[in-house]
């Protein structure tokens, strides 16, 4: 039931093995990961009392059990009570949970220690001197890199005393657990059906405006809300708005949204978290929007990067990040072009060299200003944007790819761009015009935005949560850092002495710099493939061929007569416009449907496996056929990731087919005796387990690692 719908990254996790606990009739029982204990709110009972009994779990570090809604994977703890006739047990009272995020998978549960409480009614038929036995069969799933279902039997006998006798204080764990239960909401809460998902509106002074307290809503029912999505919030003087994202089983108007709203604050004594039980009907949507800060996980790293630094610290970090950005692979080729340009300017006056430095700096700062203004406009419109947001547009990606390709052609000597085209920034190393230096600064900014450098994260995180003026100030500081090395070289001739002397090597070095530009174009086309699919890639590559053709026509007619040259220039200009318009129109068409085809090109969605059984394995082995076995479960995080990242890839599916490998999948979600026996055979007590049997009956099976990549599986199949 609890399956993550998509997986985007490989999990690098440690290996651990454990076994299920043996059944035990005692108040305590332990596995290698969890020590369970049955405790009560009293030491003795009276006939007809209602007492509270708790199952306390102490969990070893790095492992966790699950809440009533486990999230993207997992299984909630269950308790089956065996009580004397006339006794009644209520439902589990769940303490506020924590979030566990591993890659794209988010789970809800408990680590370290938790006590699950249940109210139990004592039968009226009991008499003083009797005992009241309480038996609990407790099942849980404990996970780290592997997930292991475990079961224990716990028994607690409480003496029955006369009505006037003191029942005792009971276990202190009960009182501690009650403090961790969610309270009834003291505010009026409404839920509205928005396009992206439910909008929670808590009427009342929940938090002060500008508060750094963490807020998170945990849905009680699976699929109602996306577990992994962020929950942007807005704090008004008289209300808190929390925007949720719809899950795989979204609510419809009139249905109830149930869950726990957790508010977590930092105090001198640590983190203080309080939960509030919510149960509200989903009403028609309202015209509210949330465009400011985003909430952060209640048990994550705390306040998001940048919120705990000052304005002046952000300016300093941005300046340092901009300086280091010059060393990033995406910016270094452009900076090298400017270094060559500086050598060419060595024959000019010192004042001219300085003006080139300021022209370059002006281009950088103007570009960063434009970028900051665009961010402000998009944020005010409710968009969730950040550094490099423009590369989310396939149109922008292909245009920058064309620009990088054209720069590479120029540096290779295929295209000699005249002064009127100095803004492209490729032949500026040879051009004396200040416009060339300005637009090289623009080019440096364009190619810098996909990169990040140390110190940038905190500064940008701070800037994106601040008013427009502060955001622009931080962005300008970042731009100044990017321009600073060239600005210093142009102002202090003594620094230029460290540069090599001009010579023929400059032409060769300029040609070498073409290849990083070509590599950047290739990378951008790969980005385009992820965004818009293979059809967009074909269109972009065709555009590059046409750009190369137009560059060749322009170059061979550059020294021709006026009539021929003007005709060629007109043809080149019209051809370039045709390339740009065709790319824009085509990619607009592919961006919607192409991304789906791009995703499906790498993964196979059809079923290519058979259900595992001992008999089927024996039959295949007796026939001398190779077999790959995947022992998995719906609650196993690593299993889900491996299936998406490795076993569903087309290359792996085709390798199985070509090698005649039969793929058997054993689903241990609800346990299975045959799968349990196979796990024990290979010394395992939990999934995942991947086994590759060669065709030969005498050959030993190969056990693959628990973290799979396509290459690991392909290499194993190739060895067959």
Q: Tens digits of per-residue pLDDT, 86-119? A: 999 999 999 999 998 876 678 899 999 999 999 9
Beta carbons of 434 and 355 less than 8 angstroms apart: yes
pLDDT at 206 over 70: yes
Stretch among 141-145, 189-193, 297-301, 529-533 having the lowest mean pLDDT: 297-301
Classify residue 224 as exposed, middle or buried by CB count within 10 Å of its CB (0-12, 13-18, 19+).
Answer: buried
CA atoms within 13 A on the CB side of 56: 20
Closest CA to 525 of 707, 630, 402, 607: 402
pLDDT of 260 reads 96
pLDDT of 276 reads 95
Q: Which two tokens stand for residue 287?
A: 């015209």
Residue 283: enclosing H or E segment and its boundaries? strand 270-284
Q: Which residue has the higher pLDDT, 148 or 277?
A: 277
Q: How far apart are CA 227 and CA 5, in angstroms?
A: 11
Give the model's confidence band at 136: pLDDT under 50 very low, under 70 low, under 90 confident, else very high: very high
The answer for residues whose C-beta is within 8 angstroms of residue 520's C-beta and 6 or more apart is: 330, 333, 401, 404, 447
Closest CA to 379 of 369, 364, 389: 389
Q: How far apart are CA 391 and CA 449, in angstroms?
A: 8
Q: What is the pLDDT of residues 43-71, one digit of tens each?
A: 999 999 999 999 999 999 989 999 999 98
Q: Strands 34-40 and 28-30: what pairing?
A: antiparallel
Q: Which two tokens stand for residue 594?
A: 């192409």
Stretch among 264-278, 419-433, 515-529 having the lowest mean pLDDT: 419-433
Q: How far apart are CA 201 and CA 215, in angstroms?
A: 13
Q: How far apart are CA 649 and CA 616, in angstroms?
A: 24
The answer for residues whose C-beta is within 8 angstroms of residue 546's C-beta and 6 or more apart is: 575, 578, 579
Q: Which domains does the chain have, with CATH numbers?
A: 28-178 (2.60.40.1250), 183-284 (2.60.40), 311-514 (no CATH), 610-718 (3.40.30.10)
Q: How far apart are CA 621 and CA 436, in angstroms?
A: 71
pLDDT of 717 reads 92
pLDDT at 24 over 60: no
Helix (H, G, I), strand (E, B) or coil at 214: strand
CA distances from 415 to 294, 402, 409, 476, 551 (A): 48, 14, 6, 34, 6
Q: What is the pLDDT of residues 383-408, one digit of tens each?
A: 444 454 555 567 777 777 887 787 77
pLDDT at 462 over 70: no
Mean pLDDT along residues 538-550: 83
Q: How far apart are CA 479 and CA 220, in angstroms?
A: 47
The answer for residues whose C-beta is within 8 angstroms of residue 712's C-beta and 6 or more apart is: 646, 704, 705
Q: Which two tokens stand for residue 311?
A: 């304005």
Cis, bond preceding 552 (omega within 30 deg of 0): no
Closest CA to 328 of 218, 219, 214, 445: 445
pLDDT of 9 reads 31
Q: How far apart are CA 52 and CA 637, in angstroms?
A: 34
* Helices 332-344 and 514-532, packing angle to 10 deg: 150
pLDDT of 461 reads 57
Which residues face 64 on adjacent strands?
Answer: 111, 143
pTM confidence score: 0.49
Q: Compute the CA torsion angle 131, 137, 138, 139 (nearest 10 deg).
A: 180
């Amino acid at each position: 039931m609890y399956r993550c719908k998509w997986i985007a990254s490989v999990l690098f996790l440690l290996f651990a093995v454990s076994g299920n606990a043996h059944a035990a009739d005692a108040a305590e029982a332990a596995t290698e990961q969890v020590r369970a204990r049955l405790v009560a709110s009293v030491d003795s009972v009276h006939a007809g009392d209602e007492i509270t009994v708790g199952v306390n779990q102490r969990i070893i570090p790095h492992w966790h059990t699950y809440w009533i809604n486990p999230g993207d994977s997992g299984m909630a703890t269950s308790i089956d009570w065996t009580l004397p006739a006339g006794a009644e047990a209520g439902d589990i009272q769940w303490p506020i949970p924590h979030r566990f995020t591993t890659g794209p998978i988010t789970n809800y549960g408990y680590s370290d220690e938790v006590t699950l409480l249940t109210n139990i009614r004592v039968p009226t038929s009991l008499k003083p001197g009797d005992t009241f036995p309480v038996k609990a069969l407790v099942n849980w799933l404990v996970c780290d890199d592997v997930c292991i279902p475990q079961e224990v039997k716990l028994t607690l006998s409480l003496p029955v005393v006369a009505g006037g006798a003191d029942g005792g204080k009971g276990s202190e764990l009960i009182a501690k657990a009650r403090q961790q239960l969610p309270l009834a909401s003291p505010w009026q809460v409404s839920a509205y059906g928005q396009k992206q998902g439910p909008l929670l509106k808590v009427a009342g002074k929940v938090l002060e405006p500008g508060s750094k307290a963490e807020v998170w809503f945990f849905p009680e029912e699976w699929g109602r809300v996306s577990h992994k999505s962020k929950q942007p919030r807005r704090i008004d003087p008289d209300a808190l708005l929390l925007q949720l994202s719809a899950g795989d089983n979204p609510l419809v108007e009139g249905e109830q949204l149930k869950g726990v709203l957790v508010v977590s604050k930092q105090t001198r004594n640590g983190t203080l978290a309080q939960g509030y039980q919510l149960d509200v009907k989903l009403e028609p949507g309202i015209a509210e929007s949330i465009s400011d800060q985003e909430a952060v996980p209640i048990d994550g790293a705390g306040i998001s990067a940048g919120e705990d630094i000052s304005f002046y610290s952000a300016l300093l970090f941005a300046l340092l990040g901009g300086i280091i950005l010059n060393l990033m692979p995406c910016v270094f080729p452009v900076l090298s072009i400017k270094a060559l340009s500086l050598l060419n300017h060595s024959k000019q006056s010192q004042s001219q060299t300085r003006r080139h430095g300021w022209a370059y700096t002006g281009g950088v700062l103007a570009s960063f200003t434009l970028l900051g203004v665009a961010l402000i406009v998009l944020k005010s419109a409710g968009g969730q944007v950040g550094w490099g947001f423009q590369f989310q547009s396939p149109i922008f990606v292909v245009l920058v790819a064309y620009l990088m390709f054209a720069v590479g052609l120029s540096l290779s000597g295929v295209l000699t761009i005249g002064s009127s085209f100095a803004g492209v920034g490729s032949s500026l190393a040879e051009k004396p015009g200040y416009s060339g230096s300005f637009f090289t600064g623009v080019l440096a900014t364009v190619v810098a935005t996909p990169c990040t450098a140390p110190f940038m994260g905190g500064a940008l995180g701070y800037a994106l949560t601040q008013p427009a003026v502060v955001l622009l100030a931080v962005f300008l500081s970042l731009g100044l850092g990017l321009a600073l090395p060239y600005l210093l070289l142009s102002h202090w001739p003594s620094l230029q002495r460290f540069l090599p002397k001009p010579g023929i090597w400059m032409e060769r070095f300029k040609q070498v710099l073409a290849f990083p530009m070509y590599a950047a174009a290739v990378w951008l086309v790969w980005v385009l493939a992820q965004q818009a699919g293979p059809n967009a890639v074909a269109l972009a590559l065709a555009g590059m061929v046409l750009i190369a053709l137009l560059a060749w026509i322009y170059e061979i007619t550059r020294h021709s007569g006026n009539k021929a040259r003007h005709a060629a220039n007109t043809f080149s200009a019209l051809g370039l416009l045709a390339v740009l318009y065709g790319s824009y129109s085509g990619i607009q068409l592919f961006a919607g449907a192409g991304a789906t085809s791009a995703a499906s090109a790498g993964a196979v969605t059809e079923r290519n496996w058979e259900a595992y059984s001992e008999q089927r394995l024996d039959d295949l082995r007796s026939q001398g056929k190779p077999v790959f076995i995947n022992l998995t479960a719906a609650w196993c995080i690593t299993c889900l990731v491996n299936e998406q990242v490795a076993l569903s890839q087309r290359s792996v599916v085709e390798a199985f087919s070509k090698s005649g490998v039969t793929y058997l999948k054993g689903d241990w979600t609800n346990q299975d005796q045959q799968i349990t026996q196979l796990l024990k055979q290979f010394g395992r007590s939990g999934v995942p387990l991947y086994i590759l049997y060669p065709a030969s009956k005498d050959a030993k099976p190969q056990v693959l690692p628990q973290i799979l990549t396509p290459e690991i599986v392909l290499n194993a199949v190739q060895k067959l």
